[in-house]
Amino acid sequence: RAKELGRNNCQFYTPSMNESALERLRMERHLRHALEHDEFVLHYQPQVDLRTGRIVGMEALLRWRHPERGLIPPNEFIGLAEETGLIVPIGAWILRTACMQNMAWQAAGLDELRIGVNLSARQFSQKNLVDMVATVLQDTGLPPHRLDLELTESLVMTDVDHAIAVLNDLRSLGVQLSIDDFGTGYSSLSYLKRFPINVLKIDRSFVQEIAPKSNDAAISDAIISMAHRLGIKVIAEGVETEAQCEFLSRNMCDEIQGFLFSKPLPAKEIEELLREGQRLPDHLLRLH
Ligand code: C2E
Ligand code: MG
Ligand code: MG
Ligand code: MG
């Protein structure tokens, strides 16, 4: 009878923890475990210069190699990593791994490339972010101009003055700064000139809608010429078709990234692709 009461007492706590809260706790434990047991892996997606057709950079994209569930895409766990703060140590690992990999390709005799790394809001608000980046550059020997940190519009728009200060500090290290997913947030082009950024990445949702005479085509065109006038380079994300690529070339976009050229791939496969010297065919390049 006493035992039964005890059990009931225990049960008292369970209704407050619904299924999803438990699932969250489980996931958080697994994320921690994943970091400690090397279950994260970076894939890399080439960024191709529309003048030469050659690979000039890579974006590092996180995956979780789960022992039971296989390869898990970032959208399924980055949010939780962000909420729990685990993105901070995971992000530090990402930056170091990406910079090391880039140096490894160079050491293997391949072209010198730029490496893009996504920064999360939580990382961006860390006081030691600039020191962390400086340390990784020093430890890996990667020349700063070959690191490209990608930030989203919403991230820099939450506290514009603070963001500008941090971006300036990062710029003083010599790294490049990109605005990722441009066009999905609420920022206007006029804001751009306040931020010390080097690159705009036009979001995939824009690129997908691109067709001559469509509204989005006019918008992409406007974004590209405005960016250029501000001395900012433009990379189009999620380029899947030749038609999209031709349009972007005609409108003087600088680089493309997307399934048309290559999906994100493990480092080994990227190395093969680099060795083969694969490039975009001439008819998709900018005229010059
Ligand atoms: P993102 O930074 O905008 O990355 C581009 C995403 O578009 C990647 O998805 C990539 O696989 C996908 N993509 C590229 N080309 C194409 C295409 O032609 N068609 C289609 N349908 N998709 C394409 P992924 O790898 O699933 O990453 C999703 C998002 O997760 C990223 O968006 C980024 O916001 C976040 N993420 C990925 N890796 C990291 C990371 O290391 N750190 C942080 N903080 N966030 C990351
Ligand atoms: Mg990105
Ligand atoms: Mg993006
Ligand atoms: Mg995105």
54-104 pLDDT per residue, tens: 999 999 999 999 989 999 999 999 999 999 999 999 999 999 999 999 999
* Cβ 160 vs Cβ 123: under 8 Å: no
Ligand nearest to the CA of 258: 1
d(CA 114, CA 47): 9
**Residue 94 CB less than 6 A away from ligand 1:** yes
Distance CA 43, CA 205 (A): 22
Tokens 């349009």 identify what position? 247
Query: Which atom in ligand 1 lies closest to the alpha carbon of residue 259?
Result: 18
CA 175 vs. chain centroid, Å, equals 15
What ligand has the least distance to the C-alpha of 263?
1
CB–CB of 141/86 below 8 Å?
no
Q: Choose which residue among 61, 87, 94 to substitute to test ligand 1 binding: the one with the highest number of ligand atoms within 8 A of its C-beta.
A: 61
Tally the residues of the chain: 288
Model confidence at 17, pLDDT cuts 50, 70, 90, reads low
- Mapped onto helix, strand or coil, the DSSP state of residue 255 is strand
Mean pLDDT, residues 108-113 taken together? 95
Mean pLDDT across 93-120: 97
Query: Tell me, what amino acid is at 8?
Result: N
Tokens for 23?
């699932």
